[in-house]
Structure 1
Protein backbone atom coordinates (compact mmCIF):
# COMPACT_ATOMS: atom_id res chain seq x y z
CA UNK A 1 0.00 0.00 0.00
CA UNK A 2 1.38 3.41 -1.03
CA UNK A 3 0.45 6.70 0.64
CA UNK A 4 1.77 10.27 0.58
CA UNK A 5 3.31 11.55 3.82
CA UNK A 6 4.77 14.85 4.99
CA UNK A 7 8.34 13.97 5.98
CA UNK A 8 10.40 15.11 8.96
CA UNK A 9 13.89 13.54 8.52
CA UNK A 10 15.83 13.14 11.77
CA UNK A 11 19.14 11.63 12.82
CA UNK A 12 17.43 8.90 14.80
CA UNK A 13 15.35 5.75 14.39
CA UNK A 14 11.78 5.48 15.65
CA UNK A 15 10.04 2.13 16.04
CA UNK A 16 6.33 1.18 15.92
CA UNK A 17 4.51 1.93 19.21
CA UNK A 18 7.38 4.11 20.43
CA UNK A 19 6.57 7.42 22.14
CA UNK A 20 8.75 10.33 21.02
CA UNK A 21 8.88 13.87 22.44
CA UNK A 22 9.91 16.56 19.97
CA UNK A 23 10.77 20.25 20.25
CA UNK A 24 9.63 21.91 17.02
CA UNK A 25 11.43 25.14 16.15
CA UNK A 26 12.14 25.30 12.38
CA UNK A 27 9.49 27.16 10.38
CA UNK A 28 8.98 24.29 7.92
CA UNK A 29 8.31 21.79 10.69
CA UNK A 30 6.09 24.20 12.59
CA UNK A 31 4.00 24.28 9.41
CA UNK A 32 4.00 20.48 9.21
CA UNK A 33 2.98 19.93 12.83
CA UNK A 34 0.33 22.66 12.76
CA UNK A 35 -1.28 20.94 9.78
CA UNK A 36 -1.18 17.60 11.61
CA UNK A 37 -2.84 19.21 14.64
CA UNK A 38 -5.53 20.82 12.48
CA UNK A 39 -6.36 17.80 10.32
CA UNK A 40 -5.25 14.77 12.35
CA UNK A 41 -3.03 13.60 9.50
CA UNK A 42 0.09 11.56 10.15
CA UNK A 43 3.67 12.36 9.15
CA UNK A 44 6.81 10.34 8.60
CA UNK A 45 10.20 10.34 10.30
CA UNK A 46 12.70 8.81 7.87
CA UNK A 47 16.15 8.09 9.28
CA UNK A 48 18.77 10.64 8.16
CA UNK A 49 22.12 9.08 9.07
CA UNK A 50 25.58 10.36 8.17
CA UNK A 51 24.03 13.12 6.05
CA UNK A 52 22.11 10.61 3.98
CA UNK A 53 18.41 9.80 3.75
CA UNK A 54 18.48 6.05 4.22
CA UNK A 55 15.03 5.13 2.85
CA UNK A 56 13.18 3.53 5.78
CA UNK A 57 11.25 5.37 8.46
CA UNK A 58 8.20 5.28 10.70
CA UNK A 59 4.78 6.86 10.29
CA UNK A 60 3.96 9.08 13.28
CA UNK A 61 0.93 10.77 14.80
CA UNK A 62 0.87 13.79 17.11
CA UNK A 63 -0.70 12.64 20.35
CA UNK A 64 -0.34 15.80 22.47
CA UNK A 65 0.56 19.44 22.00
CA UNK A 66 2.44 19.80 25.27
CA UNK A 67 3.36 23.48 24.96
CA UNK A 68 3.16 26.26 22.40
CA UNK A 69 5.60 29.16 22.77
CA UNK A 70 4.92 32.80 21.88
CA UNK A 71 7.39 32.64 18.98
CA UNK A 72 5.64 29.63 17.40
CA UNK A 73 7.89 26.87 18.75
CA UNK A 74 6.16 23.79 20.12
CA UNK A 75 6.77 20.82 22.38
CA UNK A 76 4.79 17.82 21.19
CA UNK A 77 4.35 14.18 22.04
CA UNK A 78 4.16 11.76 19.13
CA UNK A 79 3.74 8.02 18.63
CA UNK A 80 5.15 5.61 16.05
CA UNK A 81 2.85 3.43 13.96
CA UNK A 82 3.78 1.75 10.68
CA UNK A 83 7.18 1.30 9.05
CA UNK A 84 7.56 2.66 5.55
CA UNK A 85 10.04 2.73 2.69
CA UNK A 86 10.34 5.91 0.63
CA UNK A 87 9.35 5.39 -3.01
CA UNK A 88 9.59 9.02 -4.13
CA UNK A 89 11.06 11.95 -2.15
CA UNK A 90 10.54 15.62 -2.92
CA UNK A 91 11.91 18.59 -1.05
CA UNK A 92 9.94 20.69 -0.61
CA UNK A 93 6.54 19.07 -1.08
CA UNK A 94 4.33 20.99 -3.55
CA UNK A 95 3.20 24.29 -2.00
CA UNK A 96 4.84 23.48 1.35
CA UNK A 97 7.97 24.40 3.28
CA UNK A 98 8.65 20.83 4.38
CA UNK A 99 9.57 17.68 2.45
CA UNK A 100 7.15 14.95 1.47
CA UNK A 101 6.98 11.77 -0.52
CA UNK A 102 5.19 8.66 -1.62
CA UNK A 103 5.97 5.81 0.74
CA UNK A 104 5.36 2.09 0.66
CA UNK A 105 3.99 0.84 3.96
CA UNK A 106 5.73 -2.23 5.36
CA UNK A 107 3.48 -4.77 7.04
CA UNK A 108 4.71 -5.75 10.51
CA UNK A 109 2.98 -8.82 11.89
CA UNK A 110 2.60 -8.93 15.72
CA UNK A 111 4.96 -11.89 16.09
CA UNK A 112 6.55 -13.08 19.32
CA UNK A 113 9.39 -14.81 17.46
CA UNK A 114 11.06 -18.18 17.92
CA UNK A 115 14.12 -16.88 19.79
CA UNK A 116 12.26 -15.01 22.51
CA UNK A 117 13.44 -17.11 25.47
CA UNK A 118 17.12 -16.81 24.52
CA UNK A 119 16.75 -13.08 23.98
CA UNK A 120 15.03 -12.63 27.36
CA UNK A 121 17.81 -14.55 29.15
CA UNK A 122 20.55 -12.41 27.61
CA UNK A 123 18.67 -9.15 28.16
CA UNK A 124 18.08 -10.07 31.81
CA UNK A 125 21.79 -10.76 32.28
CA UNK A 126 22.72 -7.42 30.69
CA UNK A 127 20.30 -5.48 32.88
CA UNK A 128 21.51 -7.31 35.98
CA UNK A 129 25.12 -6.43 35.17
CA UNK A 130 24.20 -2.79 34.58
CA UNK A 131 21.92 -2.76 37.66
CA UNK A 132 19.00 -1.60 35.55
CA UNK A 133 15.45 -2.50 36.53
CA UNK A 134 13.96 -4.80 33.92
CA UNK A 135 10.38 -4.41 32.70
CA UNK A 136 10.52 -7.22 30.15
CA UNK A 137 7.25 -8.88 29.27
CA UNK A 138 7.59 -12.13 27.37
CA UNK A 139 4.05 -11.78 26.04
CA UNK A 140 4.76 -8.48 24.29
CA UNK A 141 4.71 -8.83 20.49
CA UNK A 142 7.66 -7.29 18.62
CA UNK A 143 9.80 -7.21 21.77
CA UNK A 144 12.84 -6.41 19.64
CA UNK A 145 11.52 -2.92 18.91
CA UNK A 146 10.82 -2.28 22.60
CA UNK A 147 14.34 -3.04 23.76
CA UNK A 148 16.39 -1.86 20.77
CA UNK A 149 17.18 1.58 22.22
CA UNK A 150 18.25 0.05 25.55
CA UNK A 151 21.09 -2.30 24.66
CA UNK A 152 23.78 -0.06 23.22
CA UNK A 153 23.11 -0.30 19.49
CA UNK A 154 24.59 2.39 17.28
CA UNK A 155 22.14 4.45 15.23
CA UNK A 156 23.27 2.51 12.14
CA UNK A 157 22.44 -0.77 13.90
CA UNK A 158 19.10 0.59 15.07
CA UNK A 159 18.34 1.47 11.46
CA UNK A 160 19.35 -1.99 10.24
CA UNK A 161 16.96 -3.52 12.76
CA UNK A 162 14.13 -1.36 11.37
CA UNK A 163 14.64 -2.84 7.89
CA UNK A 164 14.25 -6.50 8.92
CA UNK A 165 10.75 -7.70 7.93
CA UNK A 166 10.41 -10.52 10.48
CA UNK A 167 10.66 -10.63 14.26
CA UNK A 168 12.81 -13.78 14.09
CA UNK A 169 15.45 -11.87 12.10
CA UNK A 170 15.36 -8.98 14.54
CA UNK A 171 15.74 -11.29 17.53
CA UNK A 172 18.72 -13.07 15.98
CA UNK A 173 20.31 -9.68 15.26
CA UNK A 174 19.88 -8.57 18.89
CA UNK A 175 21.19 -11.88 20.23
CA UNK A 176 24.36 -11.55 18.13
CA UNK A 177 24.81 -8.02 19.46
CA UNK A 178 24.33 -9.16 23.07
CA UNK A 179 26.83 -12.00 22.57
CA UNK A 180 29.42 -9.34 21.68
CA UNK A 181 28.45 -6.88 24.40
CA UNK A 182 27.93 -9.10 27.45
CA UNK A 183 31.59 -10.20 27.89
CA UNK A 184 32.70 -6.56 27.63
CA UNK A 185 30.17 -5.36 30.19
CA UNK A 186 31.00 -8.25 32.54
CA UNK A 187 34.72 -7.39 32.40
CA UNK A 188 33.93 -3.71 33.05
CA UNK A 189 31.96 -4.66 36.13
CA UNK A 190 34.80 -6.85 37.39
CA UNK A 191 37.21 -3.94 36.83
CA UNK A 192 34.92 -1.62 38.78
CA UNK A 193 34.87 -4.10 41.65
CA UNK A 194 38.67 -4.29 41.67
CA UNK A 195 38.93 -0.50 41.69
CA UNK A 196 36.54 -0.31 44.65
CA UNK A 197 38.72 -2.76 46.56
CA UNK A 198 41.87 -0.70 46.00
CA UNK A 199 42.98 0.96 49.26
CA UNK A 200 40.92 -1.31 51.50
CA UNK A 201 42.53 -3.58 54.10
CA UNK A 202 42.75 -7.08 52.68
CA UNK A 203 43.19 -10.46 54.33
CA UNK A 204 45.79 -12.17 52.21
CA UNK A 205 46.89 -15.77 52.59
CA UNK A 206 50.68 -16.14 52.84
CA UNK A 207 52.19 -17.57 49.72
CA UNK A 208 53.96 -20.90 50.08
CA UNK A 209 56.90 -21.57 47.80
Structure 2
Protein backbone atom coordinates (compact mmCIF):
# COMPACT_ATOMS: atom_id res chain seq x y z
CA UNK A 1 0.00 0.00 0.00
CA UNK A 2 1.33 3.43 -0.95
CA UNK A 3 0.72 6.96 0.30
CA UNK A 4 0.79 10.32 -1.44
CA UNK A 5 3.36 12.75 -0.07
CA UNK A 6 4.68 16.24 -0.95
CA UNK A 7 8.41 16.03 -1.67
CA UNK A 8 11.14 18.61 -1.13
CA UNK A 9 14.49 17.97 -2.91
CA UNK A 10 17.45 19.12 -0.81
CA UNK A 11 21.21 18.83 -0.78
CA UNK A 12 21.20 16.88 2.48
CA UNK A 13 20.03 13.57 3.96
CA UNK A 14 17.49 13.62 6.77
CA UNK A 15 17.22 10.81 9.34
CA UNK A 16 14.38 9.92 11.72
CA UNK A 17 14.60 11.90 14.94
CA UNK A 18 16.90 14.58 13.53
CA UNK A 19 15.99 18.27 13.68
CA UNK A 20 16.13 20.17 10.38
CA UNK A 21 15.48 23.95 10.23
CA UNK A 22 14.67 25.47 6.83
CA UNK A 23 14.06 28.94 5.42
CA UNK A 24 11.22 28.82 2.88
CA UNK A 25 11.05 31.66 0.37
CA UNK A 26 9.91 30.24 -2.97
CA UNK A 27 6.22 30.68 -3.67
CA UNK A 28 5.51 27.01 -4.36
CA UNK A 29 7.04 25.93 -1.07
CA UNK A 30 5.22 28.68 0.77
CA UNK A 31 2.10 27.06 -0.67
CA UNK A 32 3.30 23.72 0.69
CA UNK A 33 3.69 25.15 4.20
CA UNK A 34 0.24 26.74 3.98
CA UNK A 35 -1.21 23.43 2.83
CA UNK A 36 0.34 21.58 5.76
CA UNK A 37 -0.85 24.20 8.24
CA UNK A 38 -4.38 23.93 6.88
CA UNK A 39 -4.64 20.24 7.72
CA UNK A 40 -6.97 19.32 10.61
CA UNK A 41 -5.48 18.84 14.03
CA UNK A 42 -4.29 15.26 14.38
CA UNK A 43 -3.40 14.85 10.70
CA UNK A 44 0.34 14.47 10.02
CA UNK A 45 1.90 17.73 8.87
CA UNK A 46 4.87 16.24 7.09
CA UNK A 47 6.58 16.28 3.73
CA UNK A 48 9.26 14.09 2.23
CA UNK A 49 12.91 15.15 2.07
CA UNK A 50 14.87 13.56 -0.77
CA UNK A 51 18.57 14.13 -1.33
CA UNK A 52 19.56 15.32 -4.78
CA UNK A 53 21.52 12.68 -6.66
CA UNK A 54 22.44 14.58 -9.81
CA UNK A 55 21.77 17.98 -11.30
CA UNK A 56 21.33 21.47 -9.89
CA UNK A 57 24.92 21.71 -8.75
CA UNK A 58 24.34 25.34 -7.76
CA UNK A 59 21.38 24.49 -5.54
CA UNK A 60 21.92 25.88 -2.02
CA UNK A 61 22.25 23.05 0.45
CA UNK A 62 20.21 22.88 3.59
CA UNK A 63 22.05 22.92 6.91
CA UNK A 64 23.03 19.51 8.17
CA UNK A 65 20.28 18.10 10.39
CA UNK A 66 20.69 18.81 14.08
CA UNK A 67 21.10 15.91 16.52
CA UNK A 68 18.00 13.93 17.58
CA UNK A 69 15.55 15.81 19.76
CA UNK A 70 15.51 12.99 22.29
CA UNK A 71 19.11 13.40 23.49
CA UNK A 72 20.08 15.97 26.17
CA UNK A 73 21.55 18.50 26.53
CA UNK A 74 21.96 19.68 22.93
CA UNK A 75 19.46 17.10 21.81
CA UNK A 76 16.53 18.42 23.81
CA UNK A 77 13.05 19.41 22.60
CA UNK A 78 12.69 21.82 19.72
CA UNK A 79 13.02 25.37 21.11
CA UNK A 80 9.84 27.39 21.40
CA UNK A 81 11.70 30.70 21.11
CA UNK A 82 12.31 32.06 17.59
CA UNK A 83 15.43 30.70 15.93
CA UNK A 84 17.81 32.83 13.89
CA UNK A 85 17.01 32.49 10.19
CA UNK A 86 18.63 29.31 8.85
CA UNK A 87 20.27 29.23 5.43
CA UNK A 88 17.76 29.42 2.62
CA UNK A 89 16.68 26.15 1.05
CA UNK A 90 15.59 26.25 -2.56
CA UNK A 91 14.50 23.41 -4.78
CA UNK A 92 13.20 23.05 -8.29
CA UNK A 93 10.80 20.35 -9.52
CA UNK A 94 12.50 20.26 -12.89
CA UNK A 95 15.18 18.11 -14.44
CA UNK A 96 16.95 16.85 -11.34
CA UNK A 97 17.67 13.26 -10.30
CA UNK A 98 16.70 12.35 -6.73
CA UNK A 99 17.58 9.43 -4.52
CA UNK A 100 14.64 7.09 -4.12
CA UNK A 101 14.87 6.62 -0.34
CA UNK A 102 14.06 9.60 1.87
CA UNK A 103 12.67 10.60 5.24
CA UNK A 104 9.61 12.63 6.12
CA UNK A 105 10.01 15.96 7.90
CA UNK A 106 7.26 16.82 10.38
CA UNK A 107 6.48 20.49 11.00
CA UNK A 108 7.17 21.40 14.62
CA UNK A 109 7.62 25.16 14.54
CA UNK A 110 6.56 27.72 11.94
CA UNK A 111 7.42 31.41 11.97
CA UNK A 112 5.81 33.49 9.21
CA UNK A 113 7.87 36.54 8.27
CA UNK A 114 6.30 39.88 7.26
CA UNK A 115 7.01 39.34 3.56
CA UNK A 116 5.38 35.87 3.49
CA UNK A 117 8.52 33.78 3.85
CA UNK A 118 8.72 31.11 6.56
CA UNK A 119 11.32 29.90 9.00
CA UNK A 120 10.35 26.37 9.94
CA UNK A 121 11.71 23.70 12.25
CA UNK A 122 11.06 20.09 11.28
CA UNK A 123 11.87 16.70 12.79
CA UNK A 124 12.62 13.59 10.74
CA UNK A 125 10.00 10.90 11.23
CA UNK A 126 9.55 8.04 8.75
CA UNK A 127 11.71 6.51 6.03
CA UNK A 128 10.11 5.91 2.66
CA UNK A 129 10.89 4.77 -0.88
CA UNK A 130 9.54 6.64 -3.90
CA UNK A 131 7.35 4.59 -6.21
CA UNK A 132 6.45 7.37 -8.66
CA UNK A 133 6.70 11.16 -8.91
CA UNK A 134 3.98 13.58 -10.00
CA UNK A 135 5.40 16.88 -11.30
CA UNK A 136 2.19 18.45 -12.59
CA UNK A 137 -0.71 18.24 -10.14
CA UNK A 138 0.80 20.71 -7.63
CA UNK A 139 3.37 23.52 -7.87
CA UNK A 140 5.71 21.29 -5.85
CA UNK A 141 6.59 17.64 -6.37
CA UNK A 142 4.18 14.97 -5.18
CA UNK A 143 5.17 11.32 -4.87
CA UNK A 144 3.60 7.95 -4.29
CA UNK A 145 5.72 6.37 -1.57
CA UNK A 146 5.93 3.12 0.33
CA UNK A 147 6.92 3.26 3.98
CA UNK A 148 10.05 1.51 5.23
CA UNK A 149 9.41 0.44 8.81
CA UNK A 150 12.22 -1.03 10.88
CA UNK A 151 12.17 -4.79 10.13
CA UNK A 152 12.00 -7.29 12.94
CA UNK A 153 14.37 -10.16 13.64
CA UNK A 154 17.71 -8.33 14.00
CA UNK A 155 17.20 -6.87 17.46
CA UNK A 156 19.66 -9.18 19.23
CA UNK A 157 22.42 -8.46 16.73
CA UNK A 158 21.73 -4.72 16.92
CA UNK A 159 21.95 -4.87 20.72
CA UNK A 160 25.39 -6.51 20.42
CA UNK A 161 26.66 -4.00 17.85
CA UNK A 162 25.42 -0.84 19.57
CA UNK A 163 28.01 -0.78 22.43
CA UNK A 164 30.84 -1.27 19.91
CA UNK A 165 29.59 1.57 17.72
CA UNK A 166 29.09 3.77 20.77
CA UNK A 167 32.68 3.16 21.92
CA UNK A 168 34.14 3.87 18.48
CA UNK A 169 31.94 6.94 18.09
CA UNK A 170 33.21 8.35 21.40
CA UNK A 171 36.79 7.82 20.23
CA UNK A 172 35.91 9.53 16.96
CA UNK A 173 34.46 12.52 18.84
CA UNK A 174 37.71 12.98 20.77
CA UNK A 175 39.47 13.46 17.43
CA UNK A 176 37.10 16.09 16.04
CA UNK A 177 36.32 18.14 19.16
CA UNK A 178 38.89 20.40 20.75
CA UNK A 179 36.83 21.11 23.86
CA UNK A 180 36.77 18.01 26.06
CA UNK A 181 33.72 19.36 27.91
CA UNK A 182 31.67 18.62 24.80
CA UNK A 183 32.41 14.92 25.24
CA UNK A 184 30.41 14.62 28.45
CA UNK A 185 27.06 14.80 26.67
CA UNK A 186 24.80 11.80 26.93
CA UNK A 187 24.71 9.61 23.84
CA UNK A 188 21.80 7.30 23.07
CA UNK A 189 22.03 3.64 23.92
CA UNK A 190 19.01 2.61 21.87
CA UNK A 191 20.54 0.93 18.78
CA UNK A 192 18.20 2.52 16.22
CA UNK A 193 18.49 6.03 17.65
CA UNK A 194 22.27 5.62 17.88
CA UNK A 195 22.50 4.46 14.26
CA UNK A 196 20.62 7.56 13.08
CA UNK A 197 22.68 9.92 15.26
CA UNK A 198 26.00 8.54 14.01
CA UNK A 199 24.87 8.65 10.39
CA UNK A 200 23.77 12.27 10.68
CA UNK A 201 26.61 13.74 12.75
CA UNK A 202 29.78 11.98 11.59
CA UNK A 203 31.73 13.73 8.84
CA UNK A 204 30.47 11.52 6.03
CA UNK A 205 29.77 12.22 2.40
CA UNK A 206 26.22 12.60 1.19
CA UNK A 207 26.60 9.26 -0.60
CA UNK A 208 27.68 7.53 2.62
CA UNK A 209 24.73 9.01 4.48
CA UNK A 210 22.32 8.08 1.74
CA UNK A 211 23.51 4.48 1.80
CA UNK A 212 23.00 4.40 5.57
CA UNK A 213 19.48 5.82 5.24
CA UNK A 214 18.64 3.18 2.64
CA UNK A 215 20.04 0.32 4.74
CA UNK A 216 16.99 -1.75 5.67
CA UNK A 217 17.71 -2.49 9.33
CA UNK A 218 19.52 -1.12 12.36
CA UNK A 219 22.04 -3.96 12.55
CA UNK A 220 23.11 -3.34 8.96
CA UNK A 221 23.48 0.39 9.63
CA UNK A 222 25.56 -0.23 12.74
CA UNK A 223 27.87 -2.66 10.90
CA UNK A 224 28.42 -0.11 8.15
CA UNK A 225 29.05 2.64 10.69
CA UNK A 226 31.76 0.62 12.42
CA UNK A 227 33.62 0.52 9.10
CA UNK A 228 32.98 4.19 8.30
CA UNK A 229 33.98 5.46 11.75
CA UNK A 230 37.17 3.40 11.67
CA UNK A 231 37.97 4.87 8.25
CA UNK A 232 37.31 8.44 9.37
CA UNK A 233 39.26 8.01 12.61
CA UNK A 234 42.27 6.69 10.70
CA UNK A 235 42.18 9.69 8.37
CA UNK A 236 41.93 12.10 11.29
CA UNK A 237 44.91 10.49 13.02
CA UNK A 238 46.96 10.89 9.83
CA UNK A 239 46.07 14.57 9.63
CA UNK A 240 47.07 15.09 13.26
CA UNK A 241 50.41 13.48 12.49
CA UNK A 242 51.25 16.28 10.03
CA UNK A 243 53.63 18.72 11.82
CA UNK A 244 51.58 21.88 11.16
CA UNK A 245 48.63 23.32 13.12
CA UNK A 246 45.28 21.89 12.12
CA UNK A 247 43.94 25.39 11.53
CA UNK A 248 46.47 25.77 8.70
CA UNK A 249 44.95 22.72 7.03
CA UNK A 250 41.37 23.82 7.44
CA UNK A 251 39.19 23.89 4.35
CA UNK A 252 35.50 24.71 4.09
CA UNK A 253 33.54 21.63 5.09
CA UNK A 254 30.47 20.26 3.40
CA UNK A 255 27.20 20.72 5.33
CA UNK A 256 26.47 17.12 4.44
Q: 2:21, 2:187 → 1: CA distance?
A: 23
Q: 1:109, 1:153 → 2: CA distance?
A: 25
Q: 1:80, 1:139 → 2: CA distance?
A: 17
Correspondent of 2:240 among 185, 189, 193? 189
Q: State yes or no: 1:126 paired with 2:172.
A: yes
Alignment partner, residue 222 of structure 2 = 171
Q: State yes or no: 1:98 paired with 2:143.
A: no
Residue-by-residue CA offset, 1:65-124 (whole Å, 9 max, x unaligned): 1x21222110001111110001110113x2x21110110000125958131122112111
Alignment partner, residue 28 of structure 2 = 28
Alignment partner, residue 45 of structure 1 = 49
Residue-by-residue CA offset, 1:119-176 (whole Å, 9 max, x unaligned): 1121111111223623322246331111212221101111110100111110111111
Q: State yes or no: 1:54 paired with 2:99.
A: yes
The normalised TM-score by structure 1 is 0.84
| Alignment length (residue pairs) | 191
Instruction: Check whether the contact 2:198–2:225 (CA below 8 A) recurs between aligned residues.
Output: no
Q: 1:139, 1:83 → 2: CA distance?
A: 18
Q: 2:100, 2:25 → 1: CA distance?
A: 24
* Shift in CA distance, 47/195, structure 1 to aligned 2, threshold 3 Å: closer
Instruction: Check whether the contact 2:212–2:221 (CA below 8 A) recurs between aligned residues.
Output: yes
Structure 1 unaligned runs (5+)?
197-209
Q: In the TM superposition, what are the counterparts of 1:4-19 in structure 2 within 5 Å?
A: 4-19=4-19
Per-residue deviation at 1:49? 2.2
Residue-by-residue CA offset, 1:12-65 (whole Å, 9 max, x unaligned): 110011111010011111100111011153211122122221111111211111
Greater Rg by CA: 1
Q: 2:100, 2:49 → 1: CA distance?
A: 10
Task: Between 36-45 and 171-180, report the one with greater CA deviation.
Answer: 36-45
Correspondent of 1:83 among 127, 131, 149? 127
Per-residue deviation at 1:190? 3.4
Q: 1:140, 1:177 → 2: CA distance?
A: 17
